Amino acid sequence: MENQDKEKVQKGLHYAMILSVITIAYNTIEGIVSTFFGASDETLALFGFGLDSFVEVLSGVGIAHMIYRMKRNSINERDKFEITALRITGTALYILTAGLIVGAGISIFNQSEPETTMAGIIVAGISILTMYFLYAEKMKVGKKLDSKPIISDAKCTKTCFYLSFILLASSLIYEIWQIPYIDALGSIGIAWYAWKEGKEAFENAKSKSLSCSSDCC
């Protein structure tokens, strides 16, 4: 009976690792596509969304490392690699926040507008579907294993899900009605989420605990 329980746990952790790898791979592709079209179409919201995707890759690597350790032995707190990954992630998110706010200010001052936000609509739509799938599956395996770290990772994915709606809203509104500065406002919304995630990353690195009170670990 004990061997069967261990086998179920290992299967659950194996699936959690697969979901983690998918998250890293998807965010890498999303980051490349979003920054490319964000730069070429001059849409700050999409460009910032892409940069956030790259930062999420750093966070995803830390999560994958944690799950790898969980597969080998029972763990009680984060190791140095995971803490370093969180600190790098937090720093990158703070830099991204500052860059997006400054970029939005310059965009409004220069009265800059995107050529088109169609790419943002497509990227956001795909991201919403992907992040919802990843969130639901991570939450499912986290509850089965009664694993707070995996459940916290699912909540972090849920944050990315909400972030996609900000991009979709700003891109869709501009594409239909051409409302001035809506792209800049969308990038400020992304900056707010980036700041929130950065703050949580530093808090989690400081606590070292696998059990987090925040939504994103």
pLDDT digit string, tens, across residues 166-176: 999 999 999 99
What pLDDT score does 139 carry? 95
Using 50 as the pLDDT threshold, list the residues of the chain that sit under it: 1, 213, 217
Going from N- to C-terminal start, the domains of the chain cover 2-207
What pLDDT score does 217 carry? 45
CATH topology for the 2-207 domain: Alpha-lytic protease prodomain-like (1.20.1510)
What pLDDT score does 125 carry? 98
Q: Hey, what are 191's tokens?
A: 């900056």
> Which three-class secondary structure string do you get for the chain?
CHHHHHHHHHHHHHHHHHHHHHHHHHHHHHHHHHHHHHHHCCCHHHHHHHHHHHHHHHHHHHHHHHHHHHHHCCCCECCHHHHHHHHHHHHHHHHHHHHHHHHHHHHHHCCCCCCCCHHHHHHHHHHHHHHHHHHHHHHHHHHHHCCHHHHHHHHHHHHHHHHHHHHHHHHHHHHHHCCCCHHHHHHHHHHHHHHHHHHHHHHHHHHCECCCCCCCC
What pLDDT score does 205 carry? 87
